[in-house]
Amino acid sequence: MIVPDILPTNEDIAHHYDALDAFYREFWGEHVHHGLWLRRGESTETAVMNLIDRVAETARIGPGSVVCDVGCGYGATGRYLAEMYEARVTGLTVSKVQFIHAVRQNRDPDNLIYKLRDWRENELPAGHFDAVIAIESLAHMADKPGFFKEAYRVLRPGGRLVVAAWLTTEAPRKWQSRLFLTPICREGRLPGLGSAAEYGAMMAEAGFDVSGTEDLSRRVRRTWTICARRVLWHLLRHPRYMHFLFDRLNRDRHFVRLFPLIRMAYAVGGFRYGIIEAQKTAD
């Protein structure tokens, strides 16, 4: 497990997303996660939806499925699942700005609920959900074993957990950790970053039957090349972006370092991306 020298708090993580709200949405849109390119010529928008579809299919989400989206961001994934899969979704985020946006965009309050709430204190009923999904939110969890224990608690027997996760390679080298993985944790406000095997072991310890991991690194890493180009374009054309970067009072101004860091970390093999699936054993 890669752990930064200074651990971010939940308040740090919330502030990061609140402060960078406009940047994230302008660079990438409401779906703040990787795209998954399956065919040549696919647009960024299609790639982003491909990832949600892969998660939904792995979680076996369908009409009437009761789903918890942990780290729901702007609520776009929940809206997509409610509309395209006819699921009933509860989304949680610690970002007030993201929560307000999600609620404002919600046109289906009967099947779509958003909560401004920490997953560690989610107050959700036990045995309630058919599926728990976490798209790139696990890395922000300080207590990762606790995350899996809570997922197990809120799932019904036979329910499925699907995590689309930022990962390290198994046993990363010291130079990979020093030059890339530790700085990614620091600039991305990540309390820790683990490998697929480490997370699988935590799932099993929580009681899950772990099905396995699908490594999607080659099909998603293009995300960061596109983001880096968009960042550069905005910096050249919009003075407010440059002002943001050089404002020493802004503690999140170095977030742009993430774009080249992650792209290079993919290139040298230290950084991976995968979907891990597990099932709550029947009681």
pLDDT at residue 243 in the model? 66
What residues does each domain of the chain span?
A: 10-172+189-219+272-280
- The answer to whether 178 and 4 have CB atoms below 8 angstroms apart is no
Residue 40: C-alpha distances to residues 44, 47, 131, 223, 263 (Å) = 11, 11, 31, 14, 20
pLDDT at residue 98 in the model? 92
CA distance 14 to 1: 23
What is 10-172+189-219+272-280's CATH number, 3.40.50.150, 3.90.1150.10, 3.20.20.70, 3.30.360.10? Answer: 3.40.50.150
CA distance 34 to 11: 24
Residue-level pLDDT, tens digit, the chain, 283 residues: 999 888 888 888 888 778 777 677 776 778 889 999 999 999 999 999 999 999 999 999 999 999 999 999 999 999 999 999 999 999 999 999 999 999 999 999 999 999 999 999 999 999 999 999 999 999 999 999 999 999 999 999 999 999 999 999 999 999 999 999 999 998 888 999 999 999 999 999 999 999 999 999 999 999 988 887 877 776 667 676 666 666 666 666 567 778 888 999 999 999 999 999 999 987 6
pLDDT at residue 18 in the model? 81
- Alpha-helix runs per DSSP H in the chain: 10-19, 21-28, 44-58, 76-84, 96-105, 144-154, 174-176, 182-187, 196-206, 217-220, 222-237, 239-246, 258-268
Which residues have a Cβ under 8 Å from the Cβ of 145 and sit 6 or more positions away?
202, 205, 206
CA distance 3 to 192: 5
Q: What is the pTM of this model?
A: 0.92
Q: Radius of gyration over alpha carbons of the chain, in Å?
A: 18
